[in-house]
Amino acid sequence: MKKMIIVRHGEYDSNLNLSEYGVCQMKDLVKMIARIAGEGVVRILSSSAVRAAQSANVLASGLTKGVFEKCERLWSDRDHPEDLDEVLGMVNTYADTCDVLVLVTHLEYARDFPSYYSEQVLKREFPWQSVEKGEMVAVDCARVDEVKPCELWEDVCRDGVCTGRVDGRQVDKYVRLLYECANPEHLLKVYLYGSVVKMGVGNDADIVVEVPEPVFVEYANDCIGALDGFHPIEKLLLDMYSPYWDYASPDLARLRYIFKALHIDSSEKEALFSIIHWKKLDMLCLPEGWNEPGHVNNLLKRNFNLSVDPDFFKKLSRTCKEISR
């Protein structure tokens, strides 16, 4: 096995079936995996959950003539507890049967198994990253290389606005305009994290904006006041969250208050949304010094009696890439 690819199933509908958008997500991944595999033998293992099996079926149709195997062990939720050791054993049994092993699974394994496999088998640390529905993580099973941007650029624009998969070029353009529009005394730094940094392309633009402490406190107060306890950071830390926590909440709450904190007016917002649609933005506002141990927790505790998992910032700081002005 030269490569292992962990795929998180695509977006699904209210009946837990893969949605039309989820099918499109998987078709995008077929192209990426085919490029990685080249002439190598691909084998696909899938969680037996319907949404995962349907995702695997789309992948298999484009990669393995429709052939894939269902594995109950790759299903993870409240009724199927995560067992990294058992999945590791399963992967090892298939390692000599293919060049590229594709695992179609759920949030927990997509998030945790790449680093666990790298530590246990490759004896190397694998950069932690969040994996959204319809995204994948590729592990070089010979060694964990510096992750370089994927050279596969898809046409992800509709009417000139990015509403599909996001690539590095669009994010660079977005960040440049963000620096131009924002009050420079409020926007100190911009960081990227997630799949666009790791693979050059992803479902969303994952962005951290760093602001002075007083600006962060005002922003957090706006969020909490508007949504009756809405946590300014917690959404990114939850394995499961309702739409109430996301940008679909009243007035796109978190994104709206980030723009307010940066002094970005409505016309400037429209210019930014003309590059990447707001639905494709996962933006996090953090105070200066956020990557210092305990700093954000101290601010939240002192001002709002809230706290957050400190390991999140440790992992985030390891995977962030600063984009200079």
pLDDT tens string 183-199? 999 999 999 887 666 66
Res. 70: pLDDT tops 50:
yes
Query: How far from 174 is each of 151, 168, 272, 281, 283, CA to CA, in Å?
Result: 20, 10, 6, 10, 12
DSSP conformational letter for 70 = E
Predicted local distance difference test score (pLDDT) of residue 171: 85
pLDDT tens string 105-151? 999 999 889 889 988 888 776 666 668 899 888 887 864 343 333 33
Q: For the chain, what is the mean pLDDT?
A: 80
Token pair belonging to 268: 């400037």
Predicted local distance difference test score (pLDDT) of residue 198: 64
Neighbouring residues of 180: CB distance < 8 A, sequence distance ≥ 6: none
CATH of 3-140, one of 3.40.50.970, 3.10.20.30, 3.40.50.1240, 3.30.70.260: 3.40.50.1240
Helix/strand/coil for 83: coil
For residues 158-182, average pLDDT:
73
Whole-number CA gyration radius for the chain: 20
CA-nearest of 227, 232, 244, 228 to 312 is: 232
pLDDT tens string 277-304? 777 777 888 899 988 888 888 888 888 7
Res. 238: pLDDT tops 50:
no
- Ramachandran region, residue 159 (left: φ > 0; alpha: ψ -120 to 50; beta: rest): left
Phi/psi for 89 (5° steps) reads -60, -40
- What is the value of pTM for the model shown? 0.50
Predicted local distance difference test score (pLDDT) of residue 118: 84
Res. 224: pLDDT tops 70:
no
Predicted local distance difference test score (pLDDT) of residue 316: 79
> 126 or 243: whose pLDDT is higher?
126
CA-nearest of 45, 106, 94, 100 to 71 is: 45
Burial class of 79 by CB neighbour count within 10 A (0 to 12, 13 to 18, 19+): exposed
CA-nearest of 159, 199, 169, 207 to 29 is: 199
Predicted local distance difference test score (pLDDT) of residue 127: 60
The answer to which of 35-39, 46-50, 229-233, 279-283 has the lowest mean pLDDT is 229-233
Burial class of 294 by CB neighbour count within 10 A (0 to 12, 13 to 18, 19+): exposed
Unique residue bearing structure tokens 């052939």: 67
User: Euclidean distance between the first and final Cα of the chain, in Å?
Assistant: 42
CA-nearest of 126, 110, 52, 71 to 239 is: 110
Predicted local distance difference test score (pLDDT) of residue 122: 81
Res. 315: pLDDT tops 50:
yes
**pLDDT band for position 244 (cuts 50, 70, 90):** very low
Q: How far apart are CA 310 and CA 297, in angstroms?
A: 7
Res. 240: pLDDT tops 50:
no
Predicted local distance difference test score (pLDDT) of residue 184: 94
Domain boundaries, the chain: 3-140, 157-323
**pLDDT band for position 152 (cuts 50, 70, 90):** very low
Strands 3-8 and 321-323: unpaired
Token pair belonging to 285: 């506002």
> 143 or 16: whose pLDDT is higher?
16
Q: How far apart are CA 323 and CA 182, in angstroms?
A: 15
For the chain, how many residues are written?
325
Strands 205-211 and 321-323: unpaired
DSSP of 222-234: HHHHHTTS--TTG
Predicted local distance difference test score (pLDDT) of residue 225: 59
Query: How far from 88 is each of 115, 142, 164, CA to CA, in Å?
Result: 11, 16, 33
Q: How far apart are CA 282 and CA 258, in angstroms?
A: 11
Burial class of 322 by CB neighbour count within 10 A (0 to 12, 13 to 18, 19+): exposed
DSSP conformational letter for 19 = P
DSSP conformational letter for 74 = G
- Which of 69-83, 214-228, 237-251 has the highest average model confidence (pLDDT)? 69-83
Predicted local distance difference test score (pLDDT) of residue 177: 93
Predicted local distance difference test score (pLDDT) of residue 126: 67
Q: Is 130:111 a contact under the CB 8 Å cutoff?
A: yes
**Cβ-based neighbour number of residue 197 at 10 Å:** 21
For residues 72-78, average pLDDT:
93
The answer to which of 11-15, 48-52, 223-227, 288-292 has the lowest mean pLDDT is 223-227
Neighbouring residues of 224: CB distance < 8 A, sequence distance ≥ 6: 230, 231, 232, 304, 306
pLDDT tens string 100-111? 999 999 999 998
